[in-house]
């Protein structure tokens, strides 16, 4: 018997993202409308993938300092010593507001993984800690599109360490049909701990509007909540290996 998650994986593979053309949402072209079957069929697939930058590349002016240093005349050190990598734990999450006014969050923190067949009709497939090739994946049930008012896809750093400037991160949104959408988190926001990536809104005319945000904040979920007015109450939380408070 095929499990539900096996079905989703097979459904995701059927998107054939290699043949889909891509639209990159940018500051100059921040918006795209999902219309017709793309907005009402199956599941919307949202993926976060990232790789870590080398530690040396994060320092402003590091290349110039190295060029002017007397060490430039010495033999180069092995790359593993001169450019160590750092591990960053990024989490994919979603704040939602449903048509009836219900608000909530889907995120690994606190094990709020969601549900596809019941409200909020959003589900996280798991929590990737080290930026594996598959990244972190979220599914949104578009058969329940009319139940959504707005969805804020965001990314946060779990371990409290500001490190967006040490990652190359991309959020990809893949509908059943039509182009896949890519949003790059390419700003060097060295002190930020959270980033509002994209806002998906039900415009009430049979379509969903996807708008690039890429707004970095120094704080966490509560700061994003205040920024977008979801009106939720927040408390300190921990992942599964640590007791919640």
Q: Are 186 and 168 in contact (CB under 8 A)?
A: yes
Rounded to 10 degrees, what is the CA torsion of 184, 214, 137, 98? -150
Q: What is the CA radius of gyration of the chain?
A: 20
Q: Are 34 and 206 in contact (CB under 8 A)?
A: no
Q: In this predicted model, what pLDDT tens digit does every residue of 79-133 receive, in sequence order?
A: 444 445 556 788 999 999 999 999 999 999 888 999 999 999 999 986 555 445 5
What is the phi-psi region of residue 114: left when phi exceeds 0, alpha when psi lies from -120 to 50, beta otherwise?
left
Give mean pLDDT, residues 230-234. Answer: 92
Strands of the 114-115 sheet, one edge to the other: 22-24, 180-185, 167-174, 43-52, 136-141, 122-124, 114-115
Q: In this predicted model, what pLDDT tens digit does every residue of 100-114 receive, in sequence order?
A: 999 999 999 888 999
Residue 5 is encoded by which pair of tokens?
């998650």
In what helix (H) or strand (E) does residue 25 lie, and over which residues does it extend?
A: none
CATH of domain 23-54+85-228: 2.60.60.30
- Average pLDDT over the chain reads 79
Q: In this predicted model, what pLDDT tens digit does every residue of 20-75 receive, in sequence order?
A: 689 999 999 999 999 888 778 899 999 999 887 665 444 455 555 545 555 444 44
């Amino acid at each position: 018997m095929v499990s539900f998650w096996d079905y989703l994986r097979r459904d995701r593979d059927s998107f054939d993202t290699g043949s889909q053309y891509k639209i990159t949402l940018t500051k100059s072209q921040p918006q795209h409308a999902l219309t017709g079957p793309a907005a009402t069929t199956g599941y919307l697939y949202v993926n976060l993938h990232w790789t870590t930058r080398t530690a040396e590349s994060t320092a402003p002016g590091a290349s110039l300092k190295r060029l002017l240093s007397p060490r430039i005349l010495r033999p180069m050190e092995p790359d593993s010593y001169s450019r160590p990598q750092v591990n960053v734990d990024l989490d994919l999450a979603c704040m939602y507001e449903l048509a009836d006014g219900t608000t909530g969050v889907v995120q690994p923190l606190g094990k709020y993984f969601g549900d596809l067949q019941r409200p909020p009709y959003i589900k996280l497939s798991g929590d990737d800690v080290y930026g594996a090739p598959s990244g972190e994946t979220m599914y949104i049930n578009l058969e329940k599109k009319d139940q959504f008012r707005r969805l804020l896809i965001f990314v946060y750093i779990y371990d409290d360490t500001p490190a967006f400037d040490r990652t190359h991160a991309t959020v990809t949104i893949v509908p059943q049909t039509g182009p896949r959408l890519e949003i790059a988190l390419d700003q060097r926001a060295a002190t930020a701990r959270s980033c509002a990536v994209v806002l998906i809104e039900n415009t009430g005319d049979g379509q969903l509007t996807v708008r690039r945000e890429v707004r970095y904040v120094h704080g966490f979920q509560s700061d994003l909540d205040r920024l977008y007015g979801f009106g939720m109450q927040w408390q300190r939380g921990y992942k599964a290996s640590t007791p919640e408070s």
